Amino acid sequence: MYADLHAGWGGTPQTGSLSASVLDSLYSQIAIIDGTGQIHYVNRAWRDFGHHGLPPDHPWPGSNYLDMCHLHVGHNEAPSGPVRPQIQAVLDGEAEAFDYEYPCHTAQEKRWFMVRISAMSDHPGHFVVSHQNTTRRKQQLLAGQEALRASAQHSQAILDNMVDGVITINAQGLMESFNKAAGKMFGYSVDEVLGRNVSMLMPAPHRLHHDSYLQHFQHTGEARIIGTPREVEGLRKNGQIFPMSLSVSQVDRAGQPTFIGIVRDTTQRHRQDEEIRRLAFYDPLTGLPNRRMLMDRLKQAIASANRSHHHGAVMFLDLDHFKQLNDTRGHDVGDLLLQQVALRLNDCMREVDCVARLGGDEFVVLLEDLSSHAHEAATQTEAVANKILYALSQPYTLREQIHESTPSIGIVVFAQDPTSQEELLKKADVAMYQAKSAGRNTACFFDPSMQAAVLARAELEKDLRQGLAQNEFMLHYQVQVNERGMPVGAEALVRWFSPQRGTVPPGQFIALAEESGLILPLGQWVLETACAQLRAWAAQPATAHWTMAVNVSASQFAQADFVATVVAALQHTGANPHLLKLELTESMLVNDMQDVILKMNQLKARGVCFSLDDFGTGYSSLTHLKRLPLDQLKIDQSFVRDILTDTSDAMIARTIVALGHNLGLAVIAEGVETAAQRDFLAGLGCDAFQGYHFGRPEPAGVLQKFI
Ligand code: C2E
Ligand code: MG
Ligand code: MG
C-alpha cells in the first residue's frame, strides 16, 4: 500500500522515495487517508509527534484517523461545533477541504494546531490530513488582542478621566459611548443611554433642531455642526436645563460616520460672567444698575422712542437734606437709607422700567413705552412721580431710629427728538433743581409748558372733585320744538359754577370727568336732577307732555348697573319713563354692541326713549343703526351751521333725514340759530329743532316763558 502510493504519486520508485523524503522533511504532520478514514501513510513529523500520546512506533498505516479525530474534540478547548461530520463531508466528496484549529495543551505548555483535510485531486478516494503547529501565531494573536483590549481600556480610562463629557453617536443619532463626565453632567448611567437617541439630552426646542439636522445629514451627508464649538442647552435626567458648550467632530468607523460630541457644562462660567457683569453694570451698595448701565438703557430707549413714536421719560431724583443725615449720623446710616430708598423705588416701577443709582443720593428712573400723546405721556409720568413721592416720604427706620426723608424729582419727557443720553440727563437734572427751588418734596417737568398743562389738569381734577362734593353743578335746559314751533321738551345740559374758576363750560370738563371716572357720580347727579325736573313739569298741565333729553357718556353706559341706576332715578323721582330720552353717541357703539342693545332693550321695555346725538360725526354703520332700538337721530350742529351756504352740509342733512325716516326714526336738528336754517331743515322734513333761535340753555325757571 505504501509502495503503491509512492508509485501512484511519482510513477517511479525514485520519485516516490523523493516525495517521501520531502514529506519527511516537513515540520507539518502529514497523513494520507482513504474515504473510510483509514491511514495509508504518515510522515516523520507525524510519527515523531506521537499523536495523542501514541508512541512513535505506533502502527499508523492501517489505523483509522476518524477513530482518533474525536479526541481533538472534547479536548480542553474544543473547536467550535462537531468536526466529525465536516471531515466526513470531505471524505464523501461533498466538500473540497475542511480546516479547523484546535488546542492541544499539555501540562507544560499551551499549544494550538491547525488541521486541514483535503481531497487529493490526482488520487481520487484519498485525502491529505495535515496538522500544523500554530501555537506561535496563536500566541501572537492573543497577545495582539490583549494589547488591543489594554489600549481600549486605556482610552476609556482617559475618556472617563476627562473633565469634558464625551458622547459618540451614529448617523441615526443613537448613542454609542458616554463617558463618566457626561454621566455626571446629565445624571444618567452609561446603561441608561447607550443605544438611545441623543435627543433625550436636549430640551424640547433643541430636540426639533437636532432631528431636522440629522435628517439633513441623512439626506445630504453634509454635517453642518462640525467644528466650531457652540453654546447650547442640555437637559439633565432630573429635568433641569443647563448651558453647555458643544463641539462635534465626525469620524468614519468601518465606513460608518460616527459623531463625537464634546460637551462642557458652562453653568459656572455663566455665573462668573454674570458676576463680572454685575460688578461692571450694577451699584454694589443698592444692587441697582449704575451709570454705565443707565447710559446704555437710555440710548436704547431713545432709539426705541424714535421707532415706536411712544414717549419715554427720565426722572432725576435726589434726597432732600441727605447730606445732613450723613454728617450727623455717619455714612453707614446714610448707606442704609440709600438701600431702603432703592427698594422702595423698585416697588414703584414696572418690570420694564429702569431705576439706576448714579452715585451719592442721586437716582434716575427711566420709563419707556408711554403714550404717543405728549400730554398723556406727561400724565403717566406724573402718576409714577407721585407714587415715588409718596413712597419715599414714608418714615424710614434706620438703626432703630425713625428718619423722615423726601425726594425732589426732575422729569423730562422725550419722544422723537434727536437728543443724546447726556442731554436728557442734564435736562432732568435741571428740572430737579427747579423742584428743589419749588420747595422740595415735589416733581417738576423740564418743559415748562408741559408742566403747566399737567399741573392745570391736576388742578382741574381736584376742583372738579371738590365741586361735586360742594354742589357747584347745576342743570340748564334747552328747549326743543316741533315743526310748528311748539315746545315739546328740553335737553338737560350740565353747568359748573366754580367759585375759583367762574362758569366752566362742559366742553372743558366732561372729557376730564370721563378719564378720571368722575363722570359716574356727576352723571348720576345729572340723571337724578333731570328726572326730578321732569317730574316737576309733569305736575303742570302746560308742560306735562314735555320730554327730557339727558346726555349719557360711554363710560356711564358701560357700567354693569347702568340700567338699574336709571330705573332707580325714575323711581326716586316718580318721573314718567316714557318722557325720558337718553342721548347716546356713536362712540359708544364701537364697543360691545351686544351689551349696548341688551341695555337699550331693557330700558326700552320700561318706556325710556333713545336719541343718537351728534349724528353724522361718527362712524355708525347702517347695520348697527338698524339693530338699535332708537327713537330719534340728532343732526349734529356742525352740519346745521353752514347748511345754507355749504352744499355738502345740506346734502348730509338731507341724507340723515331720509335715513332716519326710512328707519322709522324721528329726526331733530341741533344748533339751529336762524329762522332760515329752521325753514331749510323743515323743508327737508326735519321733525324737531333745538338751538339758540328757540332758546339758549337756561335754568328751569327761565323756561317758564315757553308756556
Ligand atoms: P351736546 O349734547 O351736543 O349739546 C349741545 C351743545 O350745543 C350744548 O353745548 C349747547 O349749549 C350747544 N348749543 C345749543 N344750541 C346752540 C346753537 O344754536 N348754537 C351753538 N353754537 N351751540 C348751541 P354745551 O352745553 O356746552 O355742551 C357741550 C357738550 O357737553 C354737549 O354736547 C354734551 O356732549 C356734553 N354735555 C353737556 N352736559 C352733559 C351732561 O350732563 N352729561 C354728559 N355726559 N355730557 C354733557
Ligand atoms: Mg346732547
Ligand atoms: Mg350734540
**Helix intervals (H) in 42-122:** 44-49, 65-72, 84-91
Q: Give the ligand at the shortest distance from the Cα of 678.
A: 1
Any residues with CB less than 8 A from the CB of 677 and at least 6 apart, and which?
A: 640, 643, 644, 669, 691, 693
Pocket around ligand 1: residues whose beta carbon is below 6 Å from it?
A: 478, 493-494, 505-507, 510, 523, 526, 551-553, 583, 613-614, 637, 670-673, 691-692, 697
For residue 573, the model assigns a pLDDT of: 97
Q: Could you tell me the distance, in angstroms and rounded to a whole number, from the CA of residue 550 to the centre of ligand 2? A: 7
Q: Give the ligand at the shortest distance from the Cα of 506.
A: 1
CA-proximal residue: ligand 1, atom 24 (nearest): 506
Q: Could you tell me the distance, in angstroms and rounded to a whole number, from the CA of residue 595 to the centre of ligand 3? A: 23
Q: Could you tell me the distance, in angstroms and rounded to a whole number, from the CA of residue 683 to the centre of ligand 1? A: 25
Cell of 451: 408742566
For residue 650, the model assigns a pLDDT of: 96
> In the predicted model, what is the mean pLDDT of residues 651-655?
95
Q: Could you tell me the distance, in angstroms and rounded to a whole number, from the CA of residue 453 to the centre of ligand 2? A: 28
Question: In which band, very low, low, confident or very high, does the pLDDT at 567 lie, cut at 50, 70 and 90?
Answer: very high
Q: Could you tell me the distance, in angstroms and rounded to a whole number, from the CA of residue 549 to the centre of ligand 2? A: 7
Minimum mean pLDDT range among 196-205, 394-403, 633-642, 674-683:
196-205
To the nearest 10°, report the CA torsion of 264, 269, 270, 275.
170
Is the distance from CB of 618 to CB of 652 less than 8 angstroms? no
Any residues with CB less than 8 A from the CB of 447 and at least 6 apart, and which?
A: 412, 413
Cα 95–chain centre separation: 73
CA-proximal residue: ligand 1, atom 17 (nearest): 671
What distance, in Å, lies between the first and last C-alpha atoms of the chain?
162
Question: In which band, very low, low, confident or very high, does the pLDDT at 161 lie, cut at 50, 70 and 90?
Answer: confident
Question: In which band, very low, low, confident or very high, does the pLDDT at 217 lie, cut at 50, 70 and 90?
Answer: confident
Q: Could you tell me the distance, in angstroms and rounded to a whole number, from the CA of residue 491 to the centre of ligand 2? A: 7
Whether residue 104 is predicted with pLDDT greater than 90 in this model: the reply is no
CA-proximal residue: ligand 1, atom 23 (nearest): 671
Looking at the CA of residue 614, tell me the nearest atom of ligand 1: 3
Q: Give the ligand at the shortest distance from the Cα of 549.
A: 2
Cell of 62: 492501517
Minimum mean pLDDT range among 22-36, 366-380, 441-455, 568-582:
441-455
For residue 79, the model assigns a pLDDT of: 45
Looking at the CA of residue 553, tell me the nearest atom of ligand 1: 44
| 8-47 tens-digit pLDDT | 443 333 345 557 788 888 888 899 999 998 999 888 888 8
CA nearest neighbour of 405 among 433, 440, 432: 440
> In the predicted model, what is the mean pLDDT of residues 445-451?
70
Looking at the CA of residue 673, tell me the nearest atom of ligand 1: 18
Q: Could you tell me the distance, in angstroms and rounded to a whole number, from the CA of residue 591 to the centre of ligand 2? A: 20
For residue 450, the model assigns a pLDDT of: 58
Distance CA 419, CA 424 (A): 7
Q: Could you tell me the distance, in angstroms and rounded to a whole number, from the CA of residue 637 to the centre of ligand 3? A: 7
- Exposed, middle or buried: residue 600 (CB in 10 Å: 0-12, 13-18, 19+)? buried
Minimum mean pLDDT range among 63-67, 183-187, 242-246, 637-641:
63-67
Distance CA 119, CA 127 (A): 4
Go through the chain and tell me how many residues it has: 707
Looking at the CA of residue 478, tell me the nearest atom of ligand 1: 14
Q: Give the ligand at the shortest distance from the Cα of 583.
A: 2
Of residues 419 and 131, more confidence is placed in 131
Report helix, strand or coil for 23.
helix
Question: In which band, very low, low, confident or very high, does the pLDDT at 448 lie, cut at 50, 70 and 90?
Answer: low
Q: Give the ligand at the shortest distance from the Cα of 553.
A: 1
Distance CA 246, CA 264 (A): 7
Distance CA 609, CA 605 (A): 10
- HEC per residue, 166-197: EEEEECCCEEEEECHHHHHHHCCCHHHHCCCE
CA-proximal residue: ligand 1, atom 43 (nearest): 551
Looking at the CA of residue 476, tell me the nearest atom of ligand 1: 25
Helix axes 448-469, 374-392, angle to 10 degrees: 70
Q: Could you tell me the distance, in angstroms and rounded to a whole number, from the CA of residue 507 to the centre of ligand 2? A: 12
Cell of 519: 363722570
The pTM is what?
Answer: 0.49
